Amino acid sequence: MPVTFDNRVTRLLGVDTPILNAPMGGVVTAPFVAAMAQAGAVGMMPMAMVRDPDQIRAVRQLTQQPVGANVHARIADRVPVDVLVEEGVRFVTTSLGPVPDAVSRMQDAGITVFHVVTSLESARRALDAGVDGLVVEGAEGAALRGVEEIPMMVLLPLVTSRVDLPCIASGGIADGAAMAAAFALGAEGVLMGTRMLASAEAAIHDNYKVAVVSAASTDTIVINRNNDAPLRVLRTETTAQYLDATIGNAFKELVASIPRLYQEGDLESGFASVGMVAGHIDGVLPVAEIVRRTVAGFGEVIGRLGRDHGLAPVEPRQ
């Protein structure tokens, strides 16, 4: 069954397919963003690219399709809004903090802003601050999590039933069935991090991609809770030392050694952000193929649910 999407997210962002890659610094580069956009989905630039106008322009040399960008709340003031507008970047997510003052400046310049939230309370605050939509992040996802650590199955319906804003679900989504589940819970788009790490375009060493593909859903741990910034990572000898420990300054050292992991594939260097959904991922694919399979799986699941529950015309048996 061919799938078409027509909802608040596709209309606001001007795209066919409301699937976003996570804006992963050092992982997502211009060819990655362009491949997502060319597939009709939403290529998201990480903050590191947004701060370098040449990288924004590099994306534009590869695609004229709509693309988006992530901005970290604490440094949102430093975003070159004029460059974003000049290069036709009309969608921004703000994350890792309260809604920044810079949001109204971006909106005045014609940019649609979704804020990343991890609780009903933060979603309500974002609504009051006037954002255009939300990215709702569940605790099962990779990298920095909300201190509340609420899983997607609980958080998403809580937010979508009480806050009237378009929502993009993020955390634990790697295929069409999970996308259908998120839509059943009120989402109008999905964002994938861990699934996109195991992609041909991800600019990380193969060892990291193999680690994602090989990981079971029990192979991730949450560290850095004591800094009020829980971080879901792959369990390694290095990261296991920080489980329930006070990290303090050592956290900065962990962060500083991430480039060795990304470039040389040393999994004991720094930490590899990986979500629980890694347990479902069994191969490295081009991002366009991930998008295609996710949409096909979504269509298959909603078609089957409709048929099984008497809501769609039953095909005559051959």
Ligand X SMILES: Cc1cc2nc3c(=O)[nH]c(=O)nc-3n(C[C@H](O)[C@H](O)[C@H](O)COP(=O)(O)O)c2cc1C
- Which of residues 49, 106, 156, 173 is near ligand X by CB under 6 A? 173
Query: What element of type H or E holds 59?
Result: helix 53-62
Angle of CA points 10, 14, 15, to nearest 5°: 65
Based on the shown chain and the rule CB under 6 A, indicate whether residue 133 belongs to the binding site for ligand X: no
Q: Which residues contact 310 (CB under 8 A, 6 or more apart)?
A: none
Based on the shown chain and the rule CB under 6 A, indicate whether residue 151 belongs to the binding site for ligand X: no
Based on the shown chain and the rule CB under 6 A, indicate whether residue 171 belongs to the binding site for ligand X: yes
CB of 205 to ligand X, least distance (A): 13
CB of 31 to ligand X, least distance (A): 17
> CB atoms < 10 A from the CB of 121, how many?
10
Based on the shown chain and the rule CB under 6 A, indicate whether residue 141 belongs to the binding site for ligand X: yes
Are the CB atoms for 55 and 45 separated by under 8 Å? yes
**Rounded-to-integer distance, Cα 25 and Cα 261, Å:** 13
* Residue nearest ligand X, Cβ-based: 193
- Which of residues 27, 50, 231, 285 is near ligand X by CB under 6 A? 27
Q: Which of 141, 226, 224 is nearest to 190 (CA)?
A: 141
Helix, strand, coil percentages, rounded to 5, for the chain: 45, 15, 40
CB of 256 to ligand X, least distance (A): 16
Residues 68-87 that bind ligand X (CB under 6 A): 70
CB of 238 to ligand X, least distance (A): 16
Based on the shown chain and the rule CB under 6 A, indicate whether residue 192 belongs to the binding site for ligand X: yes
Stretch that binds ligand X, among 107-115, 160-168, 194-202, 214-222 (CB under 6 A): 194-202
Based on the shown chain and the rule CB under 6 A, indicate whether residue 33 belongs to the binding site for ligand X: no
Segment 262-267 long-range contacts (CB within 8 Å, at least 24 positions apart)? 262/26, 262/27, 262/203, 262/204, 262/205, 262/208, 263/205, 264/205, 265/205, 265/206, 265/207, 265/208, 266/207, 267/207, 267/208, 267/211, 267/234, 267/236
Based on the shown chain and the rule CB under 6 A, indicate whether residue 10 belongs to the binding site for ligand X: no
- Hey, what are 213's tokens? 């593909």
Stretch that binds ligand X, among 160-168, 190-198, 218-226, 306-314 (CB under 6 A): 190-198
Query: Could you give phi then psi for residue 288, rounded to 5 degrees?
Result: -65, -35
Based on the shown chain and the rule CB under 6 A, indicate whether residue 24 belongs to the binding site for ligand X: yes
**Rounded-to-integer distance, Cα 138 and Cα 97, Å:** 16
Q: Which of 49, 95, 54 is nearest to 191 (CA)?
A: 95
Stretch that binds ligand X, among 169-177, 237-245, 288-296, 299-307 (CB under 6 A): 169-177
CB of 40 to ligand X, least distance (A): 20
Based on the shown chain and the rule CB under 6 A, indicate whether residue 118 belongs to the binding site for ligand X: no
Q: Which of 305, 8, 60 is nearest to 165 (CA)?
A: 8
* Comparison of 219 and 306: residue with beta carbon closer to ligand X: 219
- Which of residues 197, 223, 247, 290 is near ligand X by CB under 6 A? 197
Count Cα neighbours of 283 within 13 Å in the Cβ-side half-sphere. Answer: 7
Stretch that binds ligand X, among 51-59, 61-69, 164-172, 280-288 (CB under 6 A): 164-172
Residues 231-290 that bind ligand X (CB under 6 A): 273, 275, 277
Q: Which residues bind ligand X (CB under 6 A)?
A: 22-25, 27, 46-47, 70, 95, 116, 137, 140-143, 170-173, 192-195, 197, 273, 275, 277
